[in-house]
A and B are shown apart, each in its own frame.
Chain A
Amino acid sequence: MADRTLQTTAPGGKPAGRRPFDLKRQTGFSEIAWFCLFVLYAPIAVLIVFSFNDNRSVTLWTEFSLRWYRSALNNQGIQNAAMISLQVGAVATLVSTFFATLAALATTRNERFRGEGLVYAVINQPLMIPEIVTAVATLALFALIKQLTGVGGIGYLMLAHTVFCIPFAYMPIRARLEDMNLTLEQAAADLYATPLQVFRRITLPLMMPGIVAGAMLAFVVSFDDVIITLMVAGPGETTLPIYIFGQMRRGITPETNAVSTLIVLLSVVLVALLFFFGKRRR
């Protein structure tokens, strides 16, 4: 008895022969890690390297050059497609983040209500149903509406994007709200803040990192979408991924590499911004 007490209180004393489980110490850990990193990043590395290739070929390196960037940036088709992508992405991001914020507040800041599980399922529906099904269904519905009303335009594409962006925006916002201490809002109310002031001064600033993360996720998802866009987009509504997709069917050129590299750069900048924004808030 006395011995055991001595042993456990000895400075730095660990129970002998038993090391806590540590994943990093398992055999093959670093090999698997390196393999995963390689599989993930090797294709992107190759893409970026060959975007600087002077040659027309995407497999044969000759000499460093920026000519494909020049040609990509001067390409009217790419410029138009990028503009469409940005417009659709911006509208879809703003609208979906707005609704996702409301939905997240309703599902975390209210007493549980009947059918809350159903609401959750409906919000996340775009994640559950195969995208091709949603795409065909959306196409059919929009065709019907267009026929009945005679109204066309890019609004349909923006609406379709908004819908599938909502769950992506919703998830980080909800996670943030669930992490947040409810007592903070009570403390603000206790200090004479009206419900609206509590929201503006406490809830909104504290959920902001979640909203920003949700908005960025929504933008990336919208910017990246092919299947639904392919079905819904009308003439003159070609987004960047659709344009690249079309170009590739006529053969890959380093111009495609250059455009893709620029997109990678854009996402890196976005993620970096999010990171610094989050750090500053902490």
Chain B
Amino acid sequence: MTGDGAAADRTAGRSDRAGAAAIEIRRVRKVFGSGQERAVVALDDVSLTIRDNEFFTLLGPSGCGKTTLLRLIAGFEQPTAGEILLFGSHLEHLPPHRRPVNTVFQQYALFPHMTVAENIGFGLMMQGRPKREIDETVRRMLALVRMDDLAGRRTDQLSGGQQQRVALARALAPHPKVLLLDEPLSALDLKLRKEMQIELKRLQHETGITFIFVTHDQEEALTMSDRIAVMSDGAILQVGTPREIYDHPARRFVADFIGEINILPAELLETREASGGASARVRLSSGQVRLARLPDGPVAAGRVNVAVRPEHAGLQPAGEGAALTGTLSNVVYFGTGTHYHLELDGPGGEGGRFVVELQNRLGAGADHAIGARLGILLTDGSLQVLCD
């Protein structure tokens, strides 16, 4: 409904402000507790730049430090070392109420003694805006999250999805420079979560506010984000667009955490620079040589790991120069596609497992029997060299 116009606006806005850093994290370290034994390093020397008008996702398993990073930006925690800048000005010594960023909390944290409208207007009231402006903004926010007729409700009379919308409206009402979202969808059921993913994306479009979204759900991250930072053990492993993160993971953890992937040992032969990114010739365990893409980070010479997505590989008859050969051990049909699990031939009899995903076409039957010897088709460029 807001369709093309909004999209065009956004593109225009984009090019205007492209490159402007909304948030800069410089060498931030956060240690909880003190003393040798009890100290826990939540963030270790993290640096990150989040651009203006970006939907940025911090993705990682629980305990990776993503929520700590968010709380540092909000001001609920103080960094042990390092700097946090918002549009170029230092934030790290400001208390939460003096930072022009707002948070959507995991459990919403709506004020139970106020109505929906009072909740949404709270931030504006605390900023000392005139009552008429507050009323007007609250009305606009209620329309934005499609809750117009529930202004007078108490928050405990709302469903989970409605509470979520109120929490969003409350955080957006003061028009913050950056909106922080701490796993806001995790308390919703699957159907509502899908709806809210689209809704959040729409809200980010319409408001043009930078969103920093924390989640452990890789699918959520891939669906919604402009860029993703994958975190593990208090460090950022890789930052990139969903496509970069998915197609070209730089680290083993990133490759494993997002989607399914095959990891193979290989030998690095020679590297070459090209316009589309550096690539290298690698020799697989079968002796076959393929062209693989190199990651941005440093790569050890000699033995490396290469990663291949199941859907980037194919099947072919054994022999005939197949990249790898193996025995079909399992066939898993899942509607849109089929997974073929192979036991690879290896020098010592065990070469590991490999999964190939093929699209299902109408009328085409499964033509491979379990136990069949098959070759794996790997084209140049379907392989990605990992840093570790």
Name the B residues within 8 Å of A192 (CB-CB). 97-98, 123, 126-127, 174
Q: How many residues of B contact A (CB 8 A)?
A: 24
Binary interface encoding of chain B residues 138-168 relative to chain A, with 1 for a CB under 8 A from any of its CBs, else 0: 0000000000000000001000000000000
A175 contacts chain B at the CB level, 8 A cutoff: no
The residues in B between 102 and 155 inclusive whose CB is less than 8 angstroms from any CB of A are 102-103, 105, 107, 109, 111-113, 122-123, 126-127
| B377 CB to nearest chain A CB (Å) | 40
A189 to B103, CA, bound (A): 10
Report whether A191 and B109 are in contact in the complex, using a CB–CB cutoff of 8 Å: no
Query: In the docked arrangement, what's the CA distance between A190 and B126, Å?
Result: 10
Contact assessment for A186 and B174 in the assembled complex, using a CB-CB cutoff below 8 Å: no
**How far is the CB of B124 from the nearest CB of chain A, in Å?**
9
Known pairs A206-B113, A281-B113; A190 contacts B74 (CB<8 A): yes
Q: Which of B76, B97, B171 contacts A193 (CB 8 A)?
A: B97
B205 contacts the other chain (Cβ, under 8 Å)? Answer: no
Chain A residues with CB under 8 A of B95: 189, 195
C-alpha spacing A193/B113, complex, angstroms:
16
Are A191 and B113 closer than 8 Å at their CB atoms?
no
| A205 touching B113, Cβ below 8 Å | yes
CB-CB under 8 A from B75, the residues of chain A are 189-190
Q: Is the CB of B170 within 8 A of A191?
A: yes
Shortest C-beta distance, B222 to chain A (Å), equals: 28
| Cβ contacts under 8 Å, A281 to chain B | 113
Q: Cβ of B295 < 8 Å from any Cβ of A?
A: no
**A181, A190, A197, A201: the one within 8 Å of B103 (CB):** A190
Q: Collect the chain B residues with CB atoms within 8 Å of residue A191's CB.
A: 97, 102, 122-123, 126, 170-171, 174
Whether B61 is near chain A, meaning CB under 8 Å from some CB there, is no
A184 to B107 alpha-carbon distance, docked (Å):
10
A188–B119 CA distance with the chains assembled, in angstroms = 10
Q: Nearest Cβ distance between residue A251 and chain B, in whole angstroms?
A: 53
Q: By the criterion CB–CB under 8 Å, are A189 and B109 in contact?
A: no
**Distance of A237 Cα from B126 Cα, bound (Å):** 49
Chain B residues in 8 Å Cβ range of A188: 111, 122, 126
Interface positions, chain B 85-109, Cβ under 8 Å from A, are 95-98, 101-103, 105, 107, 109
Interface positions of B from 166 to 222, Cβ below 8 Å from A: 170-171, 174
Assess A184 versus B97: contact at CB under 8 Å? Given A191-B123, A193-B126.
Answer: no
Asked whether B97 lies within 8 Å of A189 as measured between CB atoms, the reply is yes
Residue A194 at the chain B interface, CB threshold 8 Å: yes
Closest CB of chain B to A210's CB: distance in Å?
A: 13
| 5 A-B contacts (beta carbon < 8 Å) | A189-B97, A190-B75, A190-B76, A193-B97, A194-B97
Given contacts A188-B111, A193-B126, 4 further A-B contacts (CB under 8 A): A186-B96, A190-B75, A191-B123, A193-B97
